[in-house]
């Protein structure tokens, strides 16, 4: 007999529930898949970009003025390499490449313009807890999101970011722009795990009370 918690016990393959309760016995035990965060990291990175701003059509003598950067988006996450750490079970080292796209807002003296630019951030992470898994996953197209990627060793890498530009140097005549882009990354390594749960074969009846709602079978 395996005691699951203060009320449920598993005996001879059957989940036993106290008869004093209002819940009926489950019909069977089934496995479900759930996404679990295995490791999480916060990383600050900065890159310097050298950009040539383009004047509007027909402008021959521009006078550039940089306004700012906006609309930051993560468009690519690549696991360049990964390796097991010696003498550390289930721990790995990852080398990531994250591509960020953003819009440059500026003026050529006559027109307000927008130009798209991209920056690549290379990030090394040590001591990533990432055990190997043999679970067969049914993803239902989750990987269409730009800020999610799978790796060859199994985990899902999900990235959120907060970015800003600073330290800009601009040549008003040529449009040569030197720009620092700083990003705060939140990086999560996730994996599907299997959970054993009871099933009852029907949706519980909804009973309304003055204080709350209870779901009973």
φ, ψ (nearest 5 deg) of residue 143: -85, 10
Task: Indicate whether 156 belongs to any domain.
Answer: yes
Domain that holds residue 72: 37-199
The verdict on residue 111 lying in a domain is yes
pTM of the model: 0.69
pLDDT single digits (tens) 17-66: 555 455 677 788 888 888 889 999 999 999 999 999 999 998 989 999 99
Q: Which residues contact 64 (CB under 8 A, 6 or more apart)?
A: 53, 55, 106, 107, 108, 109, 170, 171, 172, 173, 174, 175, 177
Q: If you average pLDDT over every residue of the chain, what do you get?
A: 79
Residue at 184 is within a domain:
yes
Neighbouring CB atoms inside 10 A of 120's CB total 11
Query: From CA 191, how far away is CA 108, in angstroms rounded?
Result: 49
d(CA 188, CA 175) in angstroms, rounded, equals 39
Tens of pLDDT, residue by residue over 79-100, are 888 888 988 888 999 999 999 9
Residue 174's pLDDT is 93
How many domains does the chain fold into? Answer: 1
- Is 107 contained in some domain? yes
- The answer to whether residue 30 sits within a structural domain is no
């Amino acid at each position: 007999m395996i005691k699951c918690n203060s009320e449920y016990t598993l005996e001879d393959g059957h989940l036993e529930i106290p008869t004093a309760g209002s819940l009926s016995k489950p019909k069977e035990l089934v496995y479900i898949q759930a996404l679990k965060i295995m490791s999480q990291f916060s990383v600050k990175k900065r890159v310097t970009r050298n950009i040539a701003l383009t004047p509007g059509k027909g402008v021959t003598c521009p006078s550039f003025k940089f306004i700012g950067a906006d609309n930051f988006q993560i468009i690519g996450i690549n696991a360049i390499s990964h390796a097991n750490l010696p003498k550390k079970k289930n721990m790995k080292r990852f080398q990531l490449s994250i591509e960020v796209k953003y819009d440059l807002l500026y003026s050529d003296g006559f027109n307000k313009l927008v130009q798209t630019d991209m920056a690549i951030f290379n990030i090394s992470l040590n001591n990533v807890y990432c055990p190997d898994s043999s679970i067969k996953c049914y993803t239902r197209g989750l990987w269409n999101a730009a800020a999610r990627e799978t790796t060859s060793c199994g985990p899902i890498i999900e990235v959120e970011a907060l970015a800003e530009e600073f330290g800009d140097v601009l040549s008003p005549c040529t449009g040569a722009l030197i720009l620092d882009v700083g990003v705060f990354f939140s990086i999560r390594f996730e994996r599907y795990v299997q959970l054993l749960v009871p099933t009852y074969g029907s949706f519980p009846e909804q009973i309304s009370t003055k204080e709350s709602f209870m779901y009973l079978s």
